Amino acid sequence: MRVLLSNDDGIESPALWRLALEVAESSGIEGYVVAPAEEWSAQGHAITVREPLYAERLPASGYPLPAWRVSGTPADCIKLGLHSLLPEPVDLVVAGINQGFNLATDVLYSGTVAAATEGVLGGLPAIAVSSGHESGTPTTYQFPAQVTCQLLNLLSDQMDHPWLLNVNIPATDDARVNGVWITELGPCPYIDVVRSDEDEAGRACYWLAIEPHPDRPVAGSDWEAVQKGAISLTPLEVLRLTKTNHFAGLVPVVEELQARLGEGAGPFG
């Protein structure tokens, strides 16, 4: 199995290289790294189309896998990797290990999930891996890297069609986790707040911030899994975004809009 690794925390991320090392040391898995020069956390599925992209091959010595540093976004990295940089096709895209969970609506903002989604758009299965870490608590990311490679091995017979798996692994450097759960995306584990501030020039400015959600996590959600110390696996649907059960509600709207268009007057006259 050959994998393309990327990471929205940027090419300097220690969690990226811990996973790359684990891949390099795993029998039966080969890999390439294509990662952004800068951090792109919470920048979603942005791509670079108004300026050129630059890719620099990192020196072979000193890195566990062949690797490129790219001037663009995580999604750019996957596009460049799959369509230009890599010397051979890969079977799967792995985005991560992200430093911090990607739960619930995080997946809409996450550059990690976006990189994995780009793999699916490229026709491949993909895994987005995130690991929570409490601030001030050092972690080597060894355990989430080992879990990720075990998952790659166990999923190796499902590489013939695209799918996307969002994986969240609790912060730990040992194997004392509370099981492995298949979960749904939960309600968001925090609430949005906007903090008012003043910049150095005295101008009013604002910071997007979050506070812990007062509710308890919904049973069976990814939030509940990681709160209880379990590994969370959430399969995501990305290719079928059309909401077909809204068709019926749109029919009278379409009929009325067509009638008004046909009158040649009124709002369109």
Contact residues: Mn ion, CB under 5 A? 8-9, 41, 98
Question: Which residues 6+ apart lie within 8 Å of 25 measured at CB?
Answer: 64
Q: Which residues pair with 194 in a beta bridge?
A: 208
Q: How far is the CB of 74 from Mn ion (least distance, A)?
A: 9
Nearest-approach distance from CB 43 to Mn ion, in angstroms? 9
Q: How far is the CB of 93 from Mn ion (least distance, A)?
A: 16
Separation between Cα atoms, residue 197 and residue 199, nearest integer Å: 7
Is residue 63 classed as helix, strand or coil in its secondary structure? Answer: coil
Question: Shortest gap between Cβ of 63 and Mn ion (angstroms)?
Answer: 20
What sections of the chain are H helices per DSSP?
Answer: 14-25, 74-80, 106-109, 111-121, 142-154, 222-227, 247-263
Residue whose CB is less far from Mn ion, 208 or 241:
208
| Nearer Cβ to Mn ion (1/37) | 37
- Judged on CB neighbours under 10 Å (0-12, 13-18, 19+), 4 is buried
C-beta of 8 vs 76, nearer to Mn ion: 8
Which residue's CB atom is positioned nearest to Mn ion? 41
Taking the least distance from each CB to Mn ion, the nearer of 26 and 103 is: 103
The strand ranges marked E within the chain are 2-6, 30-36, 55-57, 67-70, 92-99, 126-131, 164-169, 180-182, 190-198, 204-212, 231-236
Nearer to Mn ion, 41 or 139 (CB): 41
Q: How far is the CB of 110 from Mn ion (least distance, A)?
A: 7
